[in-house]
Structure 1
């Protein structure tokens, strides 16, 4: 495309990026008018003089721009025709107001008379919104007011209400944005979206086959005062075993380990609901041998919650028993089952190849395992009791020796303890992750999330209100678990004048 530079300097007129002064000379002092035409609606009422005012609407404005062409008139006319042939309003900037632009479109035909060396005509620019717009976008920072609420203060120095574009960035997860002023409200996301959710999980707190590191307990066993713990337990290659019985005129003498429950993932060191697996080897080699293994569960102040007891007090034959005890020291045993502690699988579930046992406490109910079955018992007094310790007691009956009178295989080989229903909280991925940029574009009346249109985020009833001339306060709300980055948040307007 060839541009023709006029010999005579003229007012700069840039339309749709084209400098029209390269082709034409604008007549001096052309009239841009004041404001736009208005449609005034009046109503005649009865016989009274005059009319009643009802309303007024502003119509489009127009700018008549007379011009002339000098030299190469035919070529310049064709170039102008090409430039002016647009199908929608384009930016129009006059050189005497370079900081403003109109959105204009040429109206109808351009009347023009010409000769070979000179021509003249008039371009009528139609401005549908009847306003001149600033070429500069004015930003306003986000602050917190005295009530701790995020707030913009817009100062529109133009004469027209204009759209507002908001740029917001959150430093934490966020699910909701509300933008509110006296002129309307906008909402995006979900106001009731949560940052996380509560849930429960089971946590294994103890899993061991060696017991040397656990502290010894001495004195009367809180499970049964007739079982003294003045002896010593030791760890050997077969498991935890009784080494010395100690002394005392009671039913059993032996040793005891007291295992404190470790803290769960929330830092709590006791369990109201729990599961415990343990493996025992309890097998006689001679008739008349005696001994016991007790696995007991205590509160922090040594109150008994429940106990699983394997013992043999038959000093002449080969009958042993398991006993299940629930609730409080020296409470009656609610279940007792006799068995033969031999090496045979059909007689002894605690022989060398087996020994698997477990116990479950849920609320006020305890379930204890025995040979493929579970036996349950309930006691209101244990409902809220929390296990803080596990007592492992191995003893010998009365004052019998640890030689041929003691159960040949009397070991605890493994113990696992899990806390059930640990109260947990987990983060839920929110709609707007940290450092997400939200752009609420007032010109387009839509929201962008990290540059992508997010029409579904807009809540029904949202009003993209404008900033009128003067000062306007606008408050911004986010999820109560979120925060905005004040340094990265702005509200922007492009001022306009009639």
Structure 2
């Protein structure tokens, strides 16, 4: 704010506003009914100095615009470099006119949440902060703040698991099913293809090029796929579309056969596809498409989705289509979005920061995930037809400019309801990542919001001031403990 004024003093009261509700005691004193700790108020005193009256009034207008906020913003002070506040100005600011070019005033800031936050997260990992216990993971935590901290707990599973319990002296929190066991016959899920993270490079090597089965099979699979790196991730891209024929779309593809499951069965009626893609156009006159399709054991198209930019606008399509049972295909539903990525990231579900997509099939029922919501459909034409191969196709339209950022980053295929005689189906497979965020009361599993996994009656974890322990419990049948990290902002009243 030095552009607008020179701060002469900052008044930060010790603690917060307090209100005490009482009623009369029978003989002496009062009974305390309630003690409420309110917000913080900061007073910033400052001088404004310019060279003339016109410059002074314009500076005041500019300052008013900066202070015109409708919700708390981050505030830092030079004498508290390790802390920040979330506040906003209140009341009017009336300057004292010492001269027309030199004025003095003060600004009142309210801190609604009533605390100062640490600027850095405090981190605890399983290697340095765990107390060994056979049936649980116990973290020894230190919160040097004066208020409870709300942790972000990251769990990477090293074996199958169906339950997560988080307990300390403040709260008990549960995900999944505590009673889930693996001592009976059951139908389980198996991750048969896992090219998440850096494994996408392995997926690129293992995939068969140029044999994709799509909804219409009209693409000329003559282009070149390659890998690139951006935003700290590896991507598969269409690096060369190849020689163009008039009015034809060139593309190239990767195909993965669904592996045989542990029971020896080939093909599947119960698919779960999870992948991450980027689809961001730099300008309106860029075009292209990504198709993710599934074919059956006879090599025929079953179902899939496509992300498509076909017009000289910023409008893009996300479409779900299936076989029509007659050798052709039919569109089931379209969704539309603005494919401009980081420029208006909230409008593009496939920006660099987002991009997670999933398809789930249970025989003739298919669930499609798009932009935070799930959509369910019944498709009679695919009933009893086993999925056999998965195809990813990246394509260009004619010789028109290609979408600047059109990538596939990660892919995972899980087969559900595999008949087995050991563990029952577990909701958290090997390699899955669970994030429990007490700051915003959210749960993410492999990048997908799954707050519905929280058991009724749970209380979100909070770390009390000082030294404390946080215990994590998992299913009894877990063979290898997960890798767990905990991080949180410290807070001061």
Per the normalisation by structure 2, the TM-score is 0.49
**Bigger Rg, which one:** 1
